Chain A
Amino acid sequence: MSEVLGLKEKLGRNVFKHSEHRHINIKEGREKDPQLKKAVLVCPAGLYSVNDNGEVELTIDGCLECGTCRLACGPELLEWNYPDGGAGVQFRFG
């Protein structure tokens, strides 16, 4: 159905190939940076969230590799790379 699906369900429609490494990591000590909180707003896959301690967390599964969080937060806050060749999302339509 094309009704509102919820993100998990929506991302579940995609083909993802397992990656050995987490390709995006929050830099140590920057978890509470206010700028990092913007990632929660911009990530189309909704993978960033703020935990009870006020720290931003990233769930990497479901990443669309769109690059938006890197543009919003910059390399100062995020260790950002694409997944290894052949891993990660594989769009069938695009």
Chain B
Amino acid sequence: MIIVGGGLSGLAAAYTLAQEGLEVLVLERGDYSGAKNVTGGRLYVNPVRELFPDLWKKAPFERFIAHEQVVMMAKERSVTIDYSGSELAVEPYQSYSILRAKFDRWLAKQAERKGAMLVTKNRVDDVIMENGRVIGVWAGGEELRSDVVIACDGVLSFTAEKAGLRKPGRANDYAVGYKEIIELPLEVIEARFNLEGNEGAARLFMGEVTQGMFGGGFLYTNKESISLGVVVGIHDLMQGEVAAPELIDLFKQRPEIRRLIKDGNTAEYSGHAIPEGGLKAMGKLFGDGILVAGDAAGMAMNIGITVRGMEYALASGYIAAQAYLKARERQDYSAASLSVYQKLLDESFIMKDFNSFKDAPQVLENPRFFNYYPEMVGDMMKEIYEVPNGPKKKIFPTVKSRLKFGELMAMAGDLRKVMKI
């Protein structure tokens, strides 16, 4: 059994299969698992908690997220919604900030402990096909054979592409996310974000941060650093006037951000493409002798401003392993036999989510969400809070003047579309 890619999906599959006593070989091109991987980073544990019951206690999480903020960023002001429910601070915590170089390396160790074999610094160069079926891969000048290959090689998945299960990806269906790791002393982070102990904060920014383009900004507190970055649709970026590197620098200079990262040390700058075309952009998930999981299969989603992909990667790796076990009972690795993967995915939260949110990519393409609304909310707040020299205008007419009939209709239209999500 060969797994291409030692990221979350690959390691989840390896861990699950090794636990069943099977021989598993994971081929990873990085120096170690996580060396090539980037996330925002927040992992929601609930959807995958029971798939790997023994994992979570000792997992190298950064902080559990107890403070949520959404910031609507207009050009000159911003309006923030803060959610710090006590339920967020009750165990088991629902989400944690993580750093992939640390997390993936740890997960790789857990898979190895179960008996999986991980070969790092090893790039898979090609798939070996015979009569239309995948029978192995080429890696490091060697031919490696396997009854089934699981492609877990991430967003571009050359493995699935070479096996004919997908076409090269197109800008419309992808975003690029890039970020800085900004180191700050633990006490400074706790003071600036009002955190107690191992609590963490997550902040999502929409509006001016992407200059109206599809996407948003994010900030997560780690133990002794901050992950600060931008996610933006590649297609939108291609139209724009502003180049990607400039966008994050402008974001850093915003007063809302500047003071949070003051005196911090940028320790790393990373970036990664993200699939977000939803159900419509998913490639084929299986073929003769091959299964595809995680980002390689297009299993990441951007609902508004928050990206989710890690739980899908972990769960689809687990499900691919289950599908392989079923095919193994039959000793039949044909596409027909491996189609049980599709069935298991359909029954899982993964395909249920992708079906529930299948309209999200189209609905969210609406630039009003990333431009118009953040500005409008900011303007209203300004007018409500402003006390001029002289009499203040009544509040209701001020609000009403913004919401003329045409505007209300347009908003109702947007709302109707949002209700599809």
Contacts and interface: CB of A to CB of B under 8 A. Distances in A.
A71 B161 CA distance: 13
B271 A64 contact: yes
Contacts of B181: 93
B176 A94 contact: no
Contact of B168 (A75, A84, A86): A75
B353 to A, nearest CB: 23
Interface residues of B, number: 61
B35 A67 contact: no
Interface string A50-82: 000000000000001111101110110000011
B348 interface: no
B270 A94 contact: yes
Specify the main secondary structure of chain B where it touches its partner.
mixed
B238 A67 contact: no
B63 interface: no
A90 B171 contact: no
Contacts, number: 164
Interface residues of A, number: 42
Contacts of B30: 86, 90
B174 A71 contact: yes
B237 A65 contact: no
Contacts of A5: 266
Contacts of B182: 2
Contact of A68 (B234, B252, B261): B234
Given A66-B271, A75-B168, A13 B156 contact: no
A13 B268 contact: yes
Contacts of B35: 89-91, 94
Contacts of A18: none
B390 to A, nearest CB: 40
A30 interface: no
Contact of B273 (A10, A11, A40, A67): A67
B155 interface: yes
Given A7-B245, A65-B36, A91-B34, A71 B273 contact: yes
A2 B123 contact: no
Nearest to B28: A85
Nearest to A65: B36
Interface stretch (B97-105, B320-328, B339-347): B97-105
A70 B99 CA distance: 25
A13 B273 contact: no
A80 to B, nearest CB: 8
14 contacts: A14-B269, A42-B237, A46-B244, A65-B36, A66-B271, A66-B273, A72-B237, A89-B270, A90-B31, A90-B35, A93-B270, A94-B38, A94-B101, A94-B104
Given A10-B266, A45-B245, A94-B35, 7 more contacts: A2-B262, A5-B266, A41-B243, A45-B271, A68-B271, A71-B156, A93-B268
